[in-house]
Structure 1
Amino acid sequence: MPELNWYDRVLVRPKVLKLGDNNPAVLSLQRLLRAVDPSLKPDGDFGPATERAVRKFQKAHDIVADGIVGPKTLSALEGLDVTKLLGQSDIERAAKTLGTGVAEVMAVQEVESNGSGFLPDGRPVILFERHWMRRLLIQVGINPDPWRAKYPNLVNPNRGGYQGYEAEHDRLKAAKFIHSGSAIQSCSWGLFQIMGFHYERLGFDSPEAMEAAANESEGAQLDMFVAFIQGDTELHQALIARDWDAFAEIYNGSAYAEHNYHGRMADAFDRHQHVNKVEGMTA
């Protein structure tokens, strides 16, 4: 796993509407939500009533019911197809598999995912890691030095060269001409940035099978994340024990505290646990 979420290094997080916001965009949202809750007062203030209406809408459309309005919820509000997106039913299935509550999985998903597992063109979000390409070429007996000299942005002992978005798929496509399996394994895939070299740990027969799963849906990407956690006893136990410091250190690396991954997960857990209990969902 990369030590930091790739979008913290490359991209800017998408804008969202959430509890406490007060602006014209909230007013527009509330008007749309009146179809779900006719009693909702359009006042431009994203308060508890608006958050409840958002969660109600999200549950009805099987979107992760976090009460936060981002691109996915907006897509559903606009009537777009959201069947490939992560649903609350996916979260509940993952929690059952991991032996945790729903709130734990929602907290990790909120903090550790990049917001969307797919690009606007429908391909999965990836980040190509050129330093891993070099390591993996060596492992399969290919001398990386000539390739580094010719394509330093694809083969290099140093991380970097990130271009983001669709351009990462251009890097992957070019790297596949050098060695396809190594190229796929050199990418982090989907919502949770799971590196391709973990394909066997995740239960896949080949890197290509993992790539295919990442292309299916965000639910399939969540299944990859669940398998990744199950493959590490300490990581799994940290999640069950809600030891957010230990979980963040194992998952994000030694720099986890600098970005407050542990604190953000603890806060998210407390919020989701409270709301789930109030609304009668599995905590």
Structure 2
Amino acid sequence: MTTLRHGDRSQAVLILQKNLNRHGANLKPDGDYGDITEAAVRAYQLKTGLVADGIAGSKTHISLAGGDCAQLLRNNDLIAAAERLDAPLACIYAVNEVESRGRGFLDNGKPVILFERHIMHRLLAKVRNEGDDPAELKRHADQLVITNPALVNPKAGGYIGGTAEHQRLAMARLIDDISALESTSWGAFQIMGFHWLRLGYRSVQDFVTAMCIGESQQFDAFTRFIETDPALHKALKTRKWAEFAKLYNGPDYQRNLYDIKLQRAYERHADCGCGQAVTS
């Protein structure tokens, strides 16, 4: 489904406007995604509990078509996060828009994941139990690099994407269940499994269970990730987008203009009136 936003002019926008009218909007179907259409999209999103970002993405299209929205992120999740992090709601909208991959689940209902073979190599050498021999753990990990380089490798890569990542994870779990789950990034915000303890989960399995429930749980993990990193939390509250992007995306953040995207998204969402909680 085509993502539509302010400034678009197309037949797809015309269809969107007609669909919104069927749900109570009073738009002139002209194919122009201007201020009035954006406001109508936000109003519909607020009414249905979806994130009221004014962008008609796949989730809005699914809802308009009467699809199942049970696993989707809710607007009240963002409102709660803003209160929890003591940050402007527009900041939360901005990081959700820019840092999220847009969806937390595949079409088959499984969470979006990415298995990291270089993390697997590192974690297999980690001392976890009393009596573990670090040298032996390292030797075993290095041996697996030779016999199974697609799953254990000091170099990142080997990604297949989509549902195939679950196949890679399943094979990695046969080698070591905990290390495999910890070596995987989960959900819309791609939180690595090895953060489970810092984020307050009882185990990596507990973390994974939450990531499989819904996007609200995935967003909660993202909120915890910010909350437990004082520098990242401060950068968000003070709207220092370059610092936030560097801390969250790494030193190459400028290559993808993350800081500029965050600033522009924040400005667009500031004073949007979308912070109204919906209880219905």
- Fold shared by both chains (TM-score > 0.5): yes
Partner of 1:257: 254
Return the match for 2:3 from 8, 16, 19. Answer: 16
Segments of structure 2 that go 5 or more residues without pairing to the other structure are 128-133
State the Cα deviation string for residues 17-66 of structure 1 (Å, max 9, x = none). Answer: 11111111111111001134442000111111111111111111111101
Q: Which has the larger radius of gyration?
A: 2
Q: Provide the rounded CA distance (Å) in 2 between the counterparts of 1:27 and 1:192.
A: 32
Counterparts of 1:51 and 1:182, CA distance in 2 = 45
Find the partner of 1:43 among 13, 30, 49: 30
Q: Runs in 1 of length 4+ with deviation above 2 angstroms?
A: 35-39, 279-282
Give the letter for the 1:196 counterpart.
Answer: G
State which of 199, 203, 206 in structure 2 corresponds to 1:202: 199
Of 72, 76, 88, the match for 2:63: 76
Query: What SS is found at the alignment partner of 1:17?
Result: coil
The alignment's C-alpha RMSD in Å is 1.4
Is 1:275–2:262 an aligned residue pair? Answer: no
2:186 and 2:221 map into 1 onto residues whose CA distance is: 9
How far apart are residue 15 of structure 1 and its match? Answer: 3.6
CA offset digits 1:182-205 (Å, max 9, x no partner): 000101111111111100011012
- Deviates most, 132-141 or 231-240: 132-141
**Matched residue pairs, number?**
267
C-alpha distance in structure 2 between counterparts of 1:83 and 1:125, whole Å: 16
CA distance in 1, matches of 2:3, 2:271: 21
Distance 1:35 1:60 in 2: 14
Q: Which residue identity is paired with 1:146?
A: Q
Distance 1:226 1:260 in 2: 22
Q: Which residue of 1 aligns with 2:75?
A: 88
The sequence identity of aligned pairs, in percent, is 46
Per-residue CA distance 1:91-114 (angstroms, 9 max, x = gap): 001111111121110100000000
Q: Structure 1: any 5+ residue segments left out of the alignment?
A: 1-13
Q: How far apart, in 2, do the equivalents of 1:268 and 1:39 lie?
A: 27
Task: List per-residue Cα deviations over 1:151-182 (Å, max 9, x = no partner).
Answer: 21100000001111100100100000000000
Distance of 2:16 and 2:241 partners within structure 1: 33
Q: In the aligned structure 1, how far is the partner of 2:9 from the partner of 2:34?
A: 9
Q: How does 1:202-221 map to 2 (within 5 A)?
A: 202-221=199-218
Written as runs of structure 1 = structure 2, the 5 A alignment for 1:11-160 is 15-140=2-127, 142=137, 143-160=140-157
Cross-structure match for 1:170: 167
CA contact (8 A) 1:37 1:53 kept: no
